[in-house]
Amino acid sequence: MSHLILYNGKLHTQDPDYPQATAVAIRDRRILAVGRDAEIEPLAGPNTQTIDLKGRLVLPGLTDCHIHFLEYALRRSQVILDGVDNWQEVQRRIRAGVERADPGEWVLGGGWNQNLWGDGTLPSKADLDDISPQNPVALSRIDGHSLWVNSLALEKADITVETPDPPQSRIDRDPDSGEPTGILREWEAIRLVQDIVPEPDDETVVTALRESITEAHRSGLTSIHEMQVEGEKKPALRAFLRLRQRGELLLRVACMIPVEHLDEAIVLGLGSGLGDATLRIGGIKLFADGSMGSGTAWMLEPFEGSDDNYGVAVTPKDELRALAYRAHSADISLAIHAIGDRALHDVLDVLTEIQGGQPSTLRHRIEHVQCIQPNDVHRLAQLGVIASMQPPHIMDDWAVADRVWGRRGRYAYAFRSLLDAGTHLAFGSDCPVAPLNPLLGIQAAVLRQDRKGKPEGGWYPGERLTVAEAVRGYTLGAAYAVGLEDMLGSITPGKLADMVVLSRDIFTIPPEEISDTQVDYTILDGQVVYHRGDE
């Protein structure tokens, strides 16, 4: 007998054996049966809970394949500047954060984007010094590849006019005096400050994660791929493990290991897939380049309007090759951040070498695949490399990409070209860089427009996906990326019972309304972990 039955609905099973299903029965943690109402009703017993879907749409549980969840959890109590397009409001929020802080306490936060304020001019330490002369301030740019700090933070980090630029990083300086302006670009420069910021205690981290998991359920997420990056203060894996030990990890987590811990992972014998469907090792996360918004994406040609800015090779190709070979040889998959077309080309060259030009049993992936040259489009499928992409970025990036990449934007976020070439797509948000909502990502992949419906007809509309293709990127594509396609990603008997019930049918409503659709139920392991009616 089943302990939970959903009936009278419309199931998008993603399983060709059950194309017209209206009901699903769940026993323990798994899907017991899928079919028509009349087929499922006999599986009900005296203690079976039933939910009348009233015609609503059911999808497999959604996965965010690229998220900085620990950072998102901690950021929620810091200065939040995401999406703020008014300089006065930016100042007001920072001032409020300073007023909340104890004397001398670090004021942290992020999400700023200078492209929203007017002419795209970067802020400086002087802008913060007036607001916070007594508290050190460190605010991450929306992409995480630049840090804005005040004079006190520079002083505490001992960053002066004599401080050289760290490898593959940049300290912005006044062109006349050489004084640091308060903008640090890329990780080796950023860590000069980050390394001296006090780390949060374990209980603060666990509490923040627990509260943020509730937000994930509200968005229909049942799984995430955690992309903790090099140098973060608290190991994400340890924090999630602590929740698991307490019986409070109500979210499936595939955790990437920062490349700085590759040696330890190899010595300990940690391999991709170690763990189970609730908490497992994903792979090694490393960076080939920076970002478009910070002007550090590694490009084959200079950024538009510049003769010499090709971006930054955060990990030079020879070093990237050596790290990739070591991980691959130890059966650890790679998750390589690559945004610029030169970074993509270099990464594909490296993967071709270590795989002998053939697909690997390891599920290597490239994170972002943001700008690719047309001759490289087919190479991901040829090598069996997953394109882990973030459709919501289009909403904020398309106009900036037109300005800094020009004609190269034709192959930015090339969803259709990659899919038609046979590439496995896995979708995420890059939260807190973009909002947590996966339905927003589905809408962005389908429309390729911002929230105001610009540009008309979509940005390079030939790269749009159908709703079904976009949903697959958040479900079966996501499961495949971490080797869980036999357990997750479709509503199939025997698979784990992760599902989401939506208030509207996103396959039939106008695409511009997809992101406004509500999640009515989120089900994890056969248990209702979120019900909108309870709020």
Helix (H, G, I), strand (E, B) or coil at 344: helix
22 confidence band (pLDDT: 50, 70, 90): very high
The rounded mean pLDDT for the chain is 95
Segments in 226-370 forming alpha helices (H): 236-245, 262-268, 317-329, 341-355
Inform me whether the pLDDT recorded for 232 exceeds 70: no
Please tell me the distance from the alpha carbon of residue 111 to that of residue 137, in angstroms, as a whole number.
14
- What's the pLDDT at 117? 85
145 confidence band (pLDDT: 50, 70, 90): confident
Please tell me the distance from the alpha carbon of residue 431 to that of residue 143, in angstroms, as a whole number.
10
533 confidence band (pLDDT: 50, 70, 90): confident
Contacts of 396 (CB under 8 A, 6+ apart): 113, 142, 434, 450
Please tell me the distance from the alpha carbon of residue 192 to that of residue 126, in angstroms, as a whole number.
19
- What's the pLDDT at 258? 93
Please state, as a whole number, how many other Cβ atoms lie within 10 Å of the Cβ of residue 392. 25
Amino acid, res. 505: D
Inform me whether the pLDDT recorded for 187 exceeds 90: no
Amino acid, res. 58: V
- Domain boundaries defined on the chain: 2-61+494-534, 72-194
- The two structure tokens encoding residue 187: 């990780």
CB of 436 closer than 8 Å to CB of 221: yes
**2-61+494-534 to CATH, choices 3.40.50.2300, 3.40.50.1820, 2.30.40.10, 2.40.360.20:** 2.30.40.10
- What's the pLDDT at 230? 58
Q: How far is CA 223 from CA 258, 404, 453, in A?
A: 20, 34, 30
Each residue's pLDDT tens digit, 346-385? 999 999 999 999 999 999 999 999 999 999 999 999 999 9
Inform me whether the pLDDT recorded for 233 exceeds 60: no
| CATH code linked to domain 72-194 | 3.10.310.70
Please state, as a whole number, how many other Cβ atoms lie within 10 Å of the Cβ of residue 513. 12
Please tell me the distance from the alpha carbon of residue 406 to that of residue 400, in angstroms, as a whole number.
9
Please tell me the distance from the alpha carbon of residue 502 to that of residue 518, in angstroms, as a whole number.
6
The torsion defined by the Cα of 75, 514, 527 and 40, in degrees rounded to 10, comes to: -170
- The two structure tokens encoding residue 172: 């912005």
Each residue's pLDDT tens digit, 152-170? 999 999 999 999 999 989 9
Each residue's pLDDT tens digit, 87-125? 999 999 999 999 999 999 999 999 999 988 877 889 999
143 confidence band (pLDDT: 50, 70, 90): confident
Question: What is this structure's pTM?
Answer: 0.90
Residue 102 sits at φ, ψ, to 5 deg, of -75, 160
CB of 531 closer than 8 Å to CB of 521: yes
Each residue's pLDDT tens digit, 475-496? 999 999 999 999 999 999 999 9
- What's the pLDDT at 234? 63
Determine the average pLDDT of the residues in 335-342: 98
